[in-house]
Amino acid sequence: MARNPNMREAILGAAETLFSSHGYSAVSIRDIARAAGANPGSVTYHFKSKDELLLAIYRRHCGPMNDRRAELLAAAMRIRDLGNRLEAIVRAYVVPAFTSSSDLAGGGARFTRLRAMMSAEGNAAVGRIIAEIFDQTNQSFIEAIEQSLPHLSRSTIVWRCQFLLGALYYSLISPERITRLSRGEANGGDVAQAIEQIVVATVASLQAPEIGDASGPRVARRGVKASSEKVPA
């Protein structure tokens, strides 16, 4: 029996929507089949398992998204001024994630929400997929930032890039929170504004001074006395 490419795409789209809304563990093959207008056998016919289906979703987005990031990063690295270059590097990472969900070359907001959901679940199989697909690209961005901020240690840059990823995920998962907490003064769904806010905040974070060796003694900063006393969470 010949495979139906339209059904395959329908299954991929349904799975991506469900995974991005409910997570990986909570969604069954039967759920995906129902949403795609298929039967469970069709899902396993086109994809051997739910893991293989998730891998196919990552592959359809991540190759083009990483290519776009690499293209923007190469352009950023041609900027002479280090401050302007740093902003362009951060923007090269952020912009593709906010591309319309219909644009596979950008990854899309829906796929970024899916990635955030997968990361939150801590699924081991997903972790392996993420490392395989994203680590090389992420290393390239870290090295580019190192060249722009040579006074920072790699560990500090990695920490702050991790915070960027968190901001990116959360902004795409809960845009309505921005609207609510700003009492309507800001529109959390405004993609252009979200990009600018994340870029500006990330650049400022990266440009902040080192805080010293994390294994060493705590240092009083900005008038705050260092203390060994526990602070309530």
**pLDDT of res. 198:** 96
Sign of the alpha-carbon torsion through 71, 207, 127, 100: negative
Q: How far is residue 194 from each of residues 57, 96, 99, measured CA to CA in Å?
A: 25, 13, 12
Q: Is 191 helix (H, G, I), strand (E, B) or coil?
A: helix
The full set of domains in the chain, from first to last, is 1-48 (1.10.10.60), 62-207 (1.10.357.10)
Q: How far apart are CA 39 and CA 45, in angstroms?
A: 10
How would you write the pLDDT of the chain (233 residues) with one tens digit per residue? 344 558 999 999 999 999 988 888 899 999 999 999 999 999 999 998 998 999 899 888 888 888 899 999 999 999 999 999 999 999 999 998 887 444 554 456 677 778 777 877 877 878 888 888 889 999 999 999 999 999 999 999 999 999 998 898 888 778 899 999 999 999 998 989 999 999 999 999 999 999 865 444 444 444 444 444 433 33
- Report, in this order, helix, strand and coil percent for the chain, each rounded to 5: 70, 0, 30
**pLDDT of res. 230:** 39
Q: How far apart are CA 49 and CA 43, in angstroms?
A: 8
Residue 39: enclosing H or E segment and its boundaries?
none
Q: How far apart are CA 115 and CA 38, in angstroms?
A: 25
**pLDDT of res. 169:** 80
**In angstroms, how far apart are the furthest CA atoms of the chain?**
73
**pLDDT of res. 231:** 34
**Identity of the residue numbered 154:** R
